Structure 1
Amino acid sequence: MEEKTILFRRDFTLVVIGQIISLFGNGILRFALPLSLLRETGSSALFGMVTACSFAPMVVLSMIGGVLADRVNKRDIMIGLDFCTAILMFVFYFALGNLPTVPLFIAVLMLLYGISGIYQPSVQASIPLLVPPEKLMAGNAVINQVNTLSGLLGPVIGGVMFGICGIRAIVVLSIICFAFSAIMEIFIQIPHEKRMRKKGVLAVAASDLKESFRFVKSEKPVFFSVVFLISIFNLVLSAVMIVGVPILITQVLKMSDVMYGFTQGAIALGGLWGGILTAMTAEKRKLKDAYILLLICAVCVAFMGIPLLLRWSTVLSYGVITLMCFITMGVSALFVVQIYTMIQKQTPPQLVGKIMAALISIAMCGQPVGQAIYGVLFDAFQEQTWIVLIAAAIASFAISLYAKKIFSRLEEESM
């Protein structure tokens, strides 16, 4: 009886450690590559366009990753993709300085995000197989904390390394991380039941996605409303955070790369705090109140614009923006874990990977569009960036209020 209550069993622990190492390597790259491009070009519009292009493959390939997660051994997917990423960065190291910078960075970022899109559904789908049902939300919270912990260390260390050693040292460190993670993942055992297929890979993928669509349409149509809501929220608010924070810190406030690294670290630390809070309050929180978390995020973005509107000192403005980033990420972590757990509990095991991947992919569709739009807006309002932040906050606030009735409906269906 006591065995059923254990969360950190051997295989789940190995998955967690592998995630820490792999995501740390990914974190320093996602920090350093866009920052290097922004420093070199100084163009907010180009920065927004590049981040949008980079993010697009993740949206598309996440659905393929979901199909693979339900068809292929999840451990093999993790191992193969980590090795592939190590090889990719090895090639990138020798391409630096020998190929045009902007196309090279776009290609590498697109591949990195695309690999992540295939990789993460395998991790998400493996959690219900490695932890007891009563520990599912705690398991999701741990994986979410791993993401944020790696995101905390990656930008902080990446910021220092970028300022001292440059981009090449970061690439070498990432290669070591991906290779080590792949080797360690060889020893993970994840339950897998091989499913026979009589059709080609693309036909199987299409069939599996149709099966997932039929389930959601007939059994859980409210999932469509949730996905649409999150997609719009990502377009309006998540995109302004992704594009806006580096522009505000490095271009508007003229802070150093190290200080930007600390802000990114604070964002990840906020996610870690949110994960801890999730584990502590899992039994008390209700779906119908989830909209409040979105409201808090909208208010935080509004507060980021206030010091720029009132022309506070650089240090004070930096402190307020960093604090709001911390709170926003923490609250977002609470929201994401709650939604993921709800979907996992209400979905048959054989469909979890596909449905999680499909819903997440659709929910993220708005983000690249928003990133491209905000890149142009921050260029157009470079002397009054607060206008962009306040407008995003007002729109996000309205979306949050609309979300209230959707989450109330979800609460009723889950009872």
Structure 2
Amino acid sequence: TKQKSSHHIWKMVEEDFSKSIHFIRKEKPTIGKVLLIICGINLFLSSMILVGMPYIITEVLDLGAREGNKLYGFAQGIFAIGGLAGGISAGVFANKLTIQKSGNLIIACAICVFPIGFSLFLFSSGFLNYIIMTACCFLILAISAIFTVQMMAFIQRETPQSFIGKVIAVIFTVTMCAQPLGNAFYGILFEICKGFEYFVILFSGFVSLLIAICTRKIFMKLSPNKE
């Protein structure tokens, strides 16, 4: 009985997943395009921050082991505040933010990466690099939160009520799959480029900016917010 019940559950999951994929691919291909863009940003930008920031703050910057760990703890708190500030801003400025301009948010995130890379290249002061890195990551996470809120609102608006849960589950599953790949990629890249960490960060910014610019038209064609 347990085996039959387990088989039945897996069959339901498989059916729901295939229906959601079909809906995203065939009925609402714009959601599929947005999904691929988010995967690309997760792969090249989010993963760099997740892997690179703790490594650079605790291992690369000349802050001392104890001080580096303490400052990284502070940085984590600031990053969390950035995400919270972005979520609040998305609600406060909801009437001024349009889905067609959401591509500009990705461009802004990518641009915020470059000061981190250039500061590592130009300045030897560990604390100065830490301040620039923390400030830029705060902005990236705040802007990312605004973008996430906009995308969730768009997906919910474009998806029938009976499909919302299933479609969002697929989107989270697919986007989260890009994260471990990106983490592994940047783990290897930072190891290869030891002593030239600024190159990895500038690479991340360049690729993310390229994705943002090339996909900007997709966002401009999205249906406007319904009042």
- TM-score exceeds 0.5: yes
What does 1:24-43 align with in structure 2 at a 5 Å threshold? none
- The answer on 1:347 being equivalent to 2:155 is no
Tell me the distance in 1 between the aligned counterparts of 2:94 and 2:60.
39
Q: Deviations 1:66-119 (Å, cap 9, x if unpaired)? A: xxxxxxxxxxxxxxxxxxxxxxxxxxxxxxxxxxxxxxxxxxxxxxxxxxxxxx
- The answer on 1:203 being equivalent to 2:15 is no
Q: Is 332-341 or 353-362 further displaced after alignment?
A: 353-362
2:144 match: 332
Which residue, out of 316, 335, 341, partners 2:128?
316
2:59 match: 251
User: CA offset at residue 310 of structure 1?
Assistant: 0.6
- The answer on 1:223 being equivalent to 2:35 is no
Tell me the distance in 2 between the aligned counterparts of 1:213 and 1:374.
29
2:76 match: 264
Q: Is the 8 A contact 2:99 2:225 kept in 1?
A: no
Over aligned residues, Cα RMSD in angstroms?
1.8
Output the amino acid matched with 1:202. Answer: W
1:369 match: 181
Tell me the distance in 2 between the aligned counterparts of 1:267 and 1:213.
33
- The answer on 1:286 being equivalent to 2:98 is yes
User: CA offset at residue 251 of structure 1?
Assistant: 0.4
Tell me the distance in 2 between the aligned counterparts of 1:216 and 1:294.
22
Tell me the distance in 1 between the aligned counterparts of 2:11 and 2:140.
41
Q: Is the 8 A contact 1:291 1:400 kept in 2?
A: yes
User: CA offset at residue 288 of structure 1?
Assistant: 1.1
Tell me the distance in 1 between the aligned counterparts of 2:25 and 2:225.
14
Q: Is the 8 A contact 1:277 1:334 kept in 2?
A: yes
Gaps of 5+ in 1: 1-196
Distance 1:383 1:217, change over 3 A: closer
Distance 1:402 1:413, change over 3 A: farther
Tell me the distance in 1 between the aligned counterparts of 2:190 and 2:25.
39
Output the amino acid matched with 2:147. Answer: F
1:300 match: 112
Output the amino acid matched with 1:411. Answer: S
Tell me the distance in 2 between the aligned counterparts of 1:337 and 1:287.
10
Structure with higher Rg: it is 1
User: CA offset at residue 414 of structure 1?
Assistant: 7.0
- The answer on 1:398 being equivalent to 2:210 is yes
Q: Is the 8 A contact 1:286 1:411 kept in 2?
A: no
What does 1:376-395 align with in structure 2 at a 5 Å threshold? 376-395=188-207
Output the amino acid matched with 1:352. Answer: I
Distance 1:291 1:333, change over 3 A: same
Higher relative contact order (CA 8 A, sep 6+): 2
Output the amino acid matched with 1:263. Answer: A
Give SS of 1:251's match: helix
User: CA offset at residue 353 of structure 1?
Assistant: 1.2
Tell me the distance in 2 between the aligned counterparts of 1:283 and 1:235.
30
User: CA offset at residue 306 of structure 1?
Assistant: 1.5
Give SS of 2:223's match: helix
Q: Is the 8 A contact 2:21 2:170 kept in 1?
A: no
User: CA offset at residue 364 of structure 1?
Assistant: 2.7
1:189 match: none
Instruction: Report percent identity of matched pairs.
Output: 35
